[in-house]
Homo-oligomer: A and B are copies of this chain.
């Protein structure tokens, strides 16, 4: 088992999800020891949701799971990169490929990222 340093942020460390092909950063979330173990064991990205206070198996609702292709650990052992194959092509709940779909342009934010799906059709399906 690879030990990470979960001591600094109340038991959580940040995990960057990056497209394993293009290098695009898709999202940033947190993991706790349990989600770290489950990610290693299953080969799918599992985060910890601070708002829901539980494990967040990415794609559990939308089907857009993240298959782990490589994991990198930083020099301090307190942050990681998940290089993933993003099923469905989009990581963001807004339907954008990346959560980082806005860029600073002068004094404002402008949309720059591509929309892959319509969130209304993916979530809250009856």
CB within 8 Å of B: which residues of A? 1-2, 8-9, 14, 16, 18, 22-25, 27-28, 40, 50, 70-76, 79-81, 92-94, 96, 99-104, 107-109, 112
Instruction: Provide the bound-state CA to CA distance between A3 and B25, in Å.
Output: 21
Q: Indicate whether A104 sits within 8 Å of B73 (C-beta atoms), given known contacts A28-B16, A79-B28.
A: yes
* Contact A108–B2 (Cβ < 8 Å): yes
Quick one: given A14-B14, A94-B75, are A103 and B25 in contact (CB under 8 Å)? Answer: no
Return chain B residues, CB-CB under 8 Å to A96: 75
Choose among B24, B27, B50, B70 the residue that contacts A74 (Cβ–Cβ < 8 A): B27
Please name all residues of chain B whose beta carbon is closer than 8 Å to the beta carbon of A107 when the two chains form the complex: 1-2
